[in-house]
Chain A
Amino acid sequence: MCTICGCGTAISREPVSARSVALHAHNHAHPHTDLHERQDYEIANGTIDFGTGRAGVHVAGLSQERTLRIERDILSKNDMFAAANRAYLRKTDAFALNFVSSPGSGKTSLLVRAIADLRDRWPIVVIEGDQQTSHDADRIRAAGAPAVQVNTGKGCHLDAHMIGHALDRLPLEPGGLLFIENVGNLVCPAAFDLGEAHKVVVLSVTEGEEKPLKYPDMFSASDLMLLNKADLLPYLEFDVDACVASARRINPHIETLTVSARTGEGLAAFYAWIEARRAL
């Protein structure tokens, strides 16, 4: 449990390093105000599990019927946590990308490759989001980057509160990169700001060039589209230009790059994009 805000009923089944305790106690990435919900989650073997259910609440107070004007955005709490994450990232001079896509687009393979290519240039940490298992975080750690797995349970997306807790447990270094791999889902993650600098949508060429028209919210929310698995193009009838045109119809400002996490094709351009964007 967080000793300052008392959030959660985190049960740690692993020794927590002095560093992560210090990070949590003194460098809490999210604010300790009443916006912090009591939320049940568990931590085991380096995985934060938000699928363990919510605590009930108890009711007390006066009895007199009246109407209260609220006029608050439903996502306002998420947006407050996102603003806190963003402030923490800015203070750390870290650059965060939120990778979104449908399942199977090759996000994890892309990150594994990018870590191998970039780890000498920037310190990199990763937050992995999935409904279940720590499979992806294990792959990232094997590639040489610290990673925290967030299991969302029934949840179909990561939210900014989860990211705050994951940041507490990551050794993010000044000037470093934070890669967030969202839950594989081309719908819901579009609505949730995590505090990242940019959403990067990954679309693989095996998925069909009309995907941006079918799932417009995600392409509208993203600043870069990576068209992955380009090494398969010779075997498919995938029209790259038509796909880019679909994406631009939804979002005239989206940038697009064709890449292959397997062969490395196009990745130099992606790394140059990171370099240029983080310098802004």
Chain B
Amino acid sequence: MHEVSLMESVVALVEDERRRHRFSRVQMIRLAVGTLSHAEPDALRFCFDAVTRGTIADGARLEIVMLSGEGRCSNCRQLVPMADRFAPCPVCGGAEVRMTAGGELRVEDLEVE
């Protein structure tokens, strides 16, 4: 449920950019969301219109790029794909795989006018 406050943070970052770059409308906001992150892309999309209404981002399109997970096993030291943050290493079965990618929650770029 914290997708609402994440989306409010996105609007705040867009506001920052408006102060810096001067624009009057946002056409598109592109987010990068890791598959192992805290956020559900569907929940982000679900709250987008409600959160952006009446803000600088009102009427913008939301695009979400999903980034896949990857981690390094503490046991075999290999870089392995991660589908689940807490699953054992797919190579050696080691219990601790430290995430190196897939936790991203980032505003990538904006289309503005």
* A and B held together in a complex: yes
Asked if B76 is at the interface (CB within 8 A of a chain A CB), the reply is no
Question: A65 contacts which chain B residues (CB < 8 A)?
Answer: 27, 111-113
How many angstroms between the C-alpha atoms of A187 and B104 in the bound complex?
Answer: 17
Closest beta carbon of chain B to A116's beta carbon, Å: 33
Closest beta carbon of chain A to B35's beta carbon, Å: 14
Question: A64 contacts which chain B residues (CB < 8 A)?
Answer: 23, 113
Asked if B9 is at the interface (CB within 8 A of a chain A CB), the reply is yes
With A71-B106, A73-B106, A78-B9 already in contact, the answer to whether A61 and B18 are too (CB < 8 A) is: yes
Bin chain B's interface residue count.
35 or more
Contact B85 A74 (CB under 8 A): no
Asked if B77 is at the interface (CB within 8 A of a chain A CB), the reply is no
Question: A220 contacts which chain B residues (CB < 8 A)?
Answer: 85-86
B residues near A (Cβ < 8 Å) are 1-2, 4-6, 8-10, 12-13, 15-19, 21-25, 27, 31, 38-39, 54-56, 85-86, 95-96, 104-113
Closest beta carbon of chain B to A142's beta carbon, Å: 31
Contact A66 B112 (CB under 8 A): yes
Closest beta carbon of chain B to A165's beta carbon, Å: 16
A residues near B (Cβ < 8 Å) are 34-35, 37, 54, 56-57, 59-78, 154-157, 159, 187-188, 190-192, 213, 216-217, 220, 249-250, 252
Interchain Cβ contacts under 8 Å between A and B, 15 examples: A34-B19, A35-B16, A57-B55, A59-B56, A62-B22, A67-B109, A68-B21, A69-B109, A70-B17, A70-B109, A73-B104, A155-B5, A188-B38, A216-B85, A216-B86
How many angstroms between the C-alpha atoms of A187 and B1 in the bound complex?
Answer: 8
